[in-house]
Each structure stands twice: as C-alpha cells, then as structure tokens.
Structure 1
Amino acid sequence: MKWTTANVRHANYTAKHELFVGTHTGSFKHLVPASENTPYRQSNLSDLAALDKDSRVTALAFSNEAATEILLGRAKNTAEVHSFVQGVSSNKVVTFNAAPIVGLARYNDKLIAGIGNGQIQTISLDTDDETEPVVITTGDQIDHLRQCPQVRGIVATGGKERQNNLKVYDLSSDSKQIFSSKNLPNDYLQLEVPVWDSDIGFVDGPNVLATCSRIGYVRLYDTRKQRRPVACFASEEHGMSFTTLVARGNFIYTGTTMGALKAFDTRRMKTHVHTYKGFTGGISDLHLDVTGQYLSSASLDRYVRIHHSESTVLLYQCYVKSKATKILIRQLENASADRKLEEEAEVEIENNVKPQKNIKATHVDNEYEDLFNQMATVGDSDNDSEGKGGSATTQSEGKLKRKYLRQSLKPTKKKM
C-alpha cells in the first residue's frame, strides 16, 4: 500500500478487531476497523464537557486477560476504570494524591498507579469511601509502569537517570523489590553511560524484560542471570530516540520521536530486522493483539494504524482528529462467539449428512431399443420371421445373437 493521508483499509485485512484510543485533548475513542460499513467511525467513551487542559491520556491498559476492563490514566491525578461486559459499559473514577499518572495496573481488588514523581500508589476498589493510598517510593522520577501479563502480581518501573533505572516489584509479597538493573560499564573516557528508560516491556514472562530509551538504546534483561543487560542495541543515528516499546516472543517493536517504527530480534540485537512505513509524526504508543500478528500504533500525526507484524504491510489507517497518545487493540467480543457457533454448525452438518453410495445409473434409450426389437433374428428362415413356426432352439440362438449385436454396436462414452 502506497503512502497516503486518507483513511484506508487493506483488502486483505479481514481480522475482527476494535481499537481504543486516548488522545492529547483527553478524549477516549472507540473504533471498529472490522466493520464493513463504518470502519472509520469514532465514538467517544468519555464526557467531553468534563475535559480540561490536564486531561491528556497518559496511561491505557487492560486490567485482565479477557480484556473486558480498561484502565485509563490522565495527566492529572484521576484514573478511570471502564468495564465492557456483554455490550454494557460502566465507568468508575479513582483519585490519587499526585500527578501525572504514567502507568496503571490492577491486582486482585486494588488499583496500582505509577506517578511521575517516582511513587507507586495503591488504592482498594472494594470500598466507596475515600481512603489514603499506600505509597511506595521507587526514586524521584519514573516515565512508565508496566504490569506483567502472565504474572499480574509483577510490575516494573523505569525513568531518567541512574537512580530511576529499571526496577521490578512483587505486589503479592508486600510490594517487595525483586530486581534492580545495573548500568553498563563506563565508556573509554571512564564516563558514566547515560540512562533513560522511557518504556518497558515483559517478554513472554516475568523474568525477561526489554527497555528502550530516548538516548537511543534498546536493552534486554534477564533477571535470573545478571543485573546488567544480556543484549543491547545502541545507535548514535539521528532520530533513534525511542519513546515506546512492546515485546512478544523473539521480537521487540519500538517507536521513535521521528516517526520510525522498527522491530528487533532478541537473538541478534546488532540491527533491526523490520521497518514499518506510513508515519509522519512521532510514535507515542504501540500494542499487539493476542495473536501477535497485528501491531497497532498511535502517532502524534493524528493517525492510528495497524501493520502486519511479519510482512510489515499497512493494513489500516484512520484519522482521529486529535494527537493520539495511547492505543489498545483487542478481538471483538462477538467475533470469537460467532466463530465458535460456525464451528459447531459445521460439526453438526458433518454428523447429520450420511455418506451415500455411488450408484451408477444406466441411461435407457427407448428408440435405440425399439430398433433392435424390430430387427429380424439372424439365421431364421422366412417362415420364422413371419411368425409361422420355428424351433425353440433357433429362436433362443436368435435372441442371443441379437443381444450380442446390440451390445457390440452400442456407442461408448469417451473418458476425458
């Protein structure tokens, strides 16, 4: 697909997806690219009249594996819990003690928020009474908080400067810190290598993590081996200032401030393996679907896009009128149900239809049969042909000869 600024959907894009987009103005939008009639229609899920200059969406995440609840954080000290169950949506607002909210997670009945001042605050969602949140100090500044999808009791934080580097906490054991990264050795001038973990991602489990930096590096950590990175990509190329990251399997997908979206292979981090095109502004957020084949992105050029992660083809692009800051992609609620019903119907049809035997029916040509019935018997006398007599043996032989002649002269069909 050629570069374009129009709303487009690739002809081969048949997946049933829906998008949730947070913007710079604070609006929270819902799009359904799978819709045949209105793939670019946008509906607002938040109250536009209550938005102000501090309502910018700074955090967006699913709170459970079923993706039926969305956590939304803003540049101010409020967070929203949006629930979508069987087509019915509900919204709950939670207030924290500080701002901005840079990451949200839910563990059991508690809402965990990463605050830009370096704190992790926890509030219980069970009680409606306003209670003081539990505060954990990770440093003096963090840029992002991420929750492990496989072990939801594990969260990671990262920020600027060495004291705010990558840290991992276990919420199931009194929020104990279980890992803290260590910087690379000093450079050849014996100067400290600068650290800025702008985003974090868990790589298929709680033990392997990836970080990207505004300084231009992508690092891979294994908490079971060592505190320093086990693999690293560093570039001094202009425009390689990474803002966001998402990881799955052996691949790490990163976006930059200059609108470059690249994929790295964790088995060989010397250079990128894929480049995704179509951007004219900085990439603010990335998210993969459950299959890992579709990569959604939010960009400051006011577009949201979906690329195929392996072929790098641009499948979907939509203009959302505001600078997109956060994005989520998920399977439509009724898509999996419809597919299940289709499979059950196919099985039922196969069980009800009984195999039939192939019976070859021989076509009878009446005109052809009458022709042989009117023919005289070969070898009969004139009296016999007139029906005046004749032995039974002669008549039997005549019938056999007539039958043989009919079978030998009958036309046969040619096999194609």
Structure 2
Amino acid sequence: MAANSQMCSVWLGSETGILKGVSFIKKQAFNFCEMSCLSRDQEVCVMAWGDTYESEVLVGSVNGTVKTFSTDKGIFTGSRECGDPSQGRFTGLAVTDSSLITCVESGLLKVWKEGSTDTVEVNVGNGICRMQQNPSQRHCVATGGKENPLKVWDLERPDKPIFTAKNVAHDWLDMRVPVWVRDIGFIPDSDKIVTCTGHHQVRVYDPSTSQRKPVMEAKFGEYPLTALSFPASQGTVVVGNTHGELAILDLRKGLVRGCLKGLAGSVRGLQCHPSLPLVASCGLDRFLRVHSLEDCSLQHKVYLKSRLNCVLLSSRELESSSVDVTGDVEEVKPEEEEDEVWDTMETVTEKSKKRVAQNDEAAVPRVEGKKKRKVAKK
C-alpha cells in the first residue's frame, strides 16, 4: 500500500470513516482503512497535514480520535483521544511546532503538547462551526460559529481574543442581523481575514485597523455558504454553498468573476491548489471534482461511492510524480461508463392525471345505473 499512497495527490475523508486517496497519474482511487470495523462514529470531519513535508495526514473523527496516516508507508501509524463526542464534532485541526490543536462545536479549544499529558484549554464560546489556523503565524487561530462572531486567538496568550469582530448594522427593517460564521480564511501575505456565513454573505475583516466591522461585504446566491478557499492568484476567493454552487468572488469589488458548474449536492470540502490555478471540491454527491480557475472548466471528476466531508490537496502537481508504481490496484469507474448505465435504464413515469380522470368517469355511470334499477323495482 506504500506505493499506492505515494501516488496520491488528493486526500478525502468520508462519512463512513474511510480515508480516500486519489491519483490522477494512474486515474485510480484507494481506500485506506480497516474495512471490518467501519462505523458511523468513525466519520471523518476534519483533516490536516501533520508536517510541512506532507508525509503525514491527520484525520479527526466524530468519536473524538485523531489518527495519523503516513503517506510514505501507506498505513495509520498512531491514534490519540483528543475529544469527547458529547461535546460535539471537531470543527478544526491544526499543528504548531510539536503541538496539536483541536476545537469542537461546544467551543473547547485544546493545545496538545507532544510527549506530555498537559494541555492548554481555551473556551472560545458555544456553537463553533470553524476553527482555522493562520498559515503565517501558526500560533494564531480564528474561530466563529452560530451567534459566535469571528475571534482571533494568540495561543501563547490565550486569556482573551486579540480581535473580536463586531456585527454589522441593523437591516432596512431595523432588525438585528443574525451571526452565523461557517468558514474562515486568512488572506495570504495580508492581515485580513475572510469569512463566509450561513446567510450567503462573504465578509472581509482587517484586524490591523481599529475597525471591528467588515471592511467589505458581498453576497452570493440565496443559500448558506459552507466553505471557502483562496486561489494562488491574489484578490479572489472561491466559495461553495449547500446547493452545490461554486463561485469565484473578487475581494476588492465584491463581484462574481465566474461560476464553477457540475456539482449536484452540498459542498462540504473545498481547497485551492497552493501554486496552480486549480480548485478541488467534494460533498454529498460523492464526487471529487477539480476545476480550472482560469476558464472555469472541469478538469477531473471521480466518483468515490461515499458522501465526502473534507478534501486535502498536495502542494505538488496533481498529474506528475517521480514514484515508480508497481502492483495491482483497483481502478476508479470512469464517468463515461456510469453515464452509459443511466442511459440504458428505462424511464418510469407516473400515470397521467387525464387518464386517471377518464377511468373515474367511466366508473361513475355503472354505479348510478345500478342505483336507478333498484329504485325502479321498488
């Protein structure tokens, strides 16, 4: 399995608890798990790289465990109990120095030091939907959720947040605008932070200024936004919502630059390639899709049989590898073959209302005729 895992350039976590790897070199997908002990409490809800060399994938499950998968060896090398299922699912997972950072829905953020049982605990508030690490300052994280505004924390001084966002002004009916942060991202090479909300808003905050309200706000679609990611080119963000809509938004003007089509379910995972104009997405329709950010075309589409929660892209090129692959592997079923299966199936239609009405009318006179004959006998 080591050769298989070394080929994979995209990693995904499923609702059934399976870690899936996809190789576009061989056009194959692989399952990395113990199939005999799969259960719903092993559902993968967060993923992160365990080191800067991308030799380890950290997998956070609903049951509160964080497993370490070695991409070099192709096996799980460790497991750690990092949460209590009664406190909610993991909403974030990150690594800083030699410590592991976890956050759950109840708002309990913990820093687990390697080789020690001591942990740093921070209560970031209830209803957390996302915890995100600052890539340039790895000891800083941002949190947000339902009725829990964006907050930035310095884990070296976790007594209170270093930034707390302020809600926007009341709407045109003079009613309070509800807070619902669904995902967070730090703009590369900048102090600004972007959030997407459950009320289809994209907001930009600048903690380096005294203003705590958004410095820019845009809206996309009519449905809750679920995920965001930043392309390699500056000035844009890719967002996805619960109805399978993906869009590229301009962060300066708040306008939609393009839409990525083809999705058929809620977007659960979304990540842009760090150097190439590509974005990978996955969700409830069980497909991994890779779109080009230059012409919005669909580059790859892979059916993975399970509902997918998260995606993790390798920083190397998706279709090139120096690994010499040998051995038998299971190929992914091509998209064209699946379409042929659907085309050969017979279409089932319901009986038309007109035909049903004619049958009912034909039955009425017979009943009335019997009644009239009985009256005549009397």
Q: Structure 1-normalised TM-score?
A: 0.70
Shift of 1:176: 5.1
After superposition, residues 386-405 of structure 1 pair within 5 angstroms as none
Deviation at residue 175 of structure 1 after TM alignment? 6.6
1:334 to 1:281, Cα distance in 2 relative to 1, 3 A: closer
8 Å Cα contact 2:24-2:319 kept in structure 1: no
Instruction: Give the match for residue 98 of structure 2.
Output: 109
Out of 114, 134, 137, the residue aligned to residue 120 of structure 2 is 134
Corresponding residue number in structure 1 for 2:11? 20
Taking structure 1 as reference, are residues 175 and 330 closer, same or farther at Cα in structure 2, changes over 3 Å only?
farther
Contact 2:100/2:113 (CA < 8 Å) preserved in 1?
A: yes
Paired residues of 1:109 and 1:126 also in contact (CA < 8 A): no
- Structure-2 residue corresponding to 1:181: 165
Q: Which residue of 2 aligns with 1:76?
A: 63
Give the partner amino acid of 1:211.
T
Deviation at 1:17, TM superposition (A): 6.9
Corresponding residue of 2:142: 156
Q: Which residue of 2 aligns with 1:296?
A: 280
* Alignment of structure 1 residues 313-324 onto 2, 5 Å: 313-324=297-308
Q: How does 1:276-295 map to 2 (within 5 A)?
A: 276-295=260-279
Q: Report the alpha carbon displacement of residue 333 of structure 1 after superposing the two structures with TM.
A: 9.1
- Corresponding residue for residue 120 of structure 1: 109
Corresponding residue number in structure 1 for 2:177: 193
- Between the aligned partners of 2:289 and 2:45, the Cα distance in structure 1 is 19
Matching of residue 308 in structure 1 with residue 292 in structure 2: yes
The verdict on how the C-alpha distance between 1:244 and 1:335 changes in structure 2, with shifts beyond 3 A counting, is closer
Measured after TM superposition, the shift of residue 168 of structure 1 is 0.9
User: When the two structures are superposed, what TM-score results if normalisation uses the length of structure 2?
Assistant: 0.77
Structure whose alpha-carbon radius of gyration is higher:
1
Matched-pair contact (CA < 8 Å) for 1:59–1:326: yes
Q: Given the superposition, is the C-alpha separation of residues 307 and 185 from structure 1 closer, same or farther in structure 2, using an over 3 Å criterion?
A: same
Structure 1 residue identity aligned to 2:152: V
Q: CA deviation at 1:112?
A: 0.7
Whole-angstrom distance in 2 between the partners of 1:55 and 1:299: 17
Separation in 2, partners of 1:189, 1:73:
42
- CA distance in 1: counterparts of 2:276 and 2:174, whole angstroms: 41
Alpha-carbon separation, structure 1, partners of 2:317 and 2:168: 45
On the 8 A contact 1:65/1:149 being kept in 2, the answer is: no
Asked if the contact 2:25/2:320 (under 8 Å) is kept, the reply is: no
Q: Percent identity?
A: 29
The size of the alignment, in residue pairs, is 311
In angstroms, what is the RMSD of aligned CA positions?
2.3
Task: Say whether 1:33 aligns with 2:30.
Answer: no
Q: Which amino acid aligns with 1:48?
A: M
- Partner secondary structure for residue 198 of structure 1: strand
Q: What residue in structure 1 maps to residue 250 of structure 2? A: 265
Question: Whole-Å Cα distance in 1 between the matches of residues 20 and 320 of structure 2?
Answer: 23
Match of 1:329 among 295, 300, 313: 313
- Per-residue displacement from partner, 1:340-382 (whole Å, max 9, x unpaired)? xxxxxxxxxxxxxxxxxxxxxxxxxxxxxxxxxxxxxxxxxxx
Aligned residue in 1 for 2:217: 232
In the TM superposition, residue 18 of structure 1 has moved relative to its aligned partner by 1.2
Q: Tell me the CA shift for residue 257 of structure 1.
A: 0.5
Deviation at 1:116, TM superposition (A): 0.8
Q: Which residue among 30, 35, 42 is the counterpart of 1:55? A: 42
> Please, which runs of 5 or more residues in structure 1 have no aligned partner?
1-15, 340-416
Give 1:318 shift. Answer: 0.3
Gap change, CA 1:123 and 1:206, over 3 Å in 2: farther
Sort the Cα spacing of 1:157 and 1:268 in 2 relative to 1 into closer, same or farther, 3 A. Answer: same
